[in-house]
Amino acid sequence: MQFSVYQQSHIGGRKVNQDRMGYCFTRDALLLVLADGMGGHQHGEIAATIAMQTLSMMFQMQAKPYIKKPERFLEEAMQQAHRDILAYTVRHKLPESPRTTVVACLVQHNCAIWAHCGDSRLYWVRRNEVLAQTRDHSHFEYLIAKGLASPAERSSHPDRNKLYNCLGATSAPRIELSRQAGLEPGDVLLLCSDGVWSMVPDAEIVQKLATQTVVQAVPELVSMAVAIGGPRADNTTALAISWQGADNAQGAGPNVISTQMLPEDQVSSTISNVSATLDADPFDEDAIEKAIAEINQAIEKSSQLLK
């Protein structure tokens, strides 16, 4: 496989960055994950981190060197992440379970398949066209589907942030799976939190992805969203790859990752392991601050381009 990749997260105007993103890859498979901890519930950043780590762990266990049943993997990994969040809640006797949205994409054999829960989005862009994007699990999107609201109201409707699906809630999540998508060289897959898509119009997102490299487009989209959001800007996070297809060492550019030489059993990952800190006493303020600091340090590290 060959692909270029870039990811970036900005805290915006919030006190804590509850967004998480990262990717893992073997010689023949690539997993992209983005989670957005829900700010209306305590410790959303913890739920997002657990989701990231569960998906990463299951990928590393099953990608030998690719995932045999990708649809089943994505659904089971997200359901397991949900159970892990609930188990954390019980273990630490939290008054309420932390919650998160999540979107994940598995790329292998020149095909992509993705799954999501909530309103973290994926866009599949080819040249200047969106071939597919996820549909938010929100009350507003439900109103659109029923003809009771207009897509033009997406940035202003009072129900635009009311979600009916996430990880960590008392009811089991409903994981929405895409169909397998055949990728062509130059295709771009963008995963982003609502801090991006709620601020930057889709046309602008597509234009930047179509005319710039992901190394240029991702930081520009994040900066634009933060600037538009101003002092009250939400956490803003984006992760994108530009697919280059089969390995061709002579055609690889300076920012292109080639997995051809990786051993079958090797996994590279930007998703850091902070599970030991997550098991600290949740009512110990020092432990909570330490956990948040370590998680944010992991985010800063994973924001750098892997070369």
Which stretches of 92-151 are DSSP H helices?
139-145
- Given a contact cutoff of 8 angstroms between Cβ atoms, the answer to whether 82 and 24 are in contact is no
Q: Would you say residue 295 has pLDDT above 60?
A: no
Torsion of CA 266, 304, 38, 164, to 10 degrees: -60
Lowest-confidence pick of 69-78, 88-97, 218-227, 277-286: 277-286
Confidence of residue 148 (pLDDT cuts 50, 70, 90): confident
Six token digits for residue 129: 């066209």
Q: Is 258 helix (H, G, I), strand (E, B) or coil?
A: strand
Distance CA 89, CA 96 (A): 7
pLDDT score for 303: 43
Torsion of CA 120, 125, 131, 137, to 10 degrees: 10
pLDDT, tens digit (0-9, with 9 covering 90-100), for 91-145? 999 999 999 999 999 999 999 999 999 999 999 999 999 999 999 999 888 888 8
Six token digits for residue 184: 């062509």
Omega of the bond prior to 254 within 30 degrees of 0, cis?
A: no
Mean of the per-residue pLDDT values for the chain?
A: 88
Question: What CATH fold (topology level) applies to the domain 2-302?
Answer: Phosphatase 2c; domain 1 (3.60.40)
The residue behind tokens 């700010």 is 39
Confidence of residue 279 (pLDDT cuts 50, 70, 90): low
pLDDT, tens digit (0-9, with 9 covering 90-100), for 195-217? 999 999 999 999 999 999 999 99
Length of the chain: 307
pLDDT score for 235: 96
Q: Would you say residue 283 has pLDDT above 50?
A: no
Higher-confidence residue: 195 or 41? Answer: 195
Nearest to 255, CA basis, from 187, 306, 191, 189: 306
pLDDT, tens digit (0-9, with 9 covering 90-100), for 42-90? 789 999 999 999 999 999 999 999 999 999 999 999 999 999 999 999 9
Q: Would you say residue 6 has pLDDT above 70?
A: yes
In the chain, where the domains are located: 2-302
The β-bridge relationship of strands 19-25 and 256-258 is unpaired
Q: Would you say residue 281 has pLDDT above 70?
A: no
Confidence of residue 307 (pLDDT cuts 50, 70, 90): very low
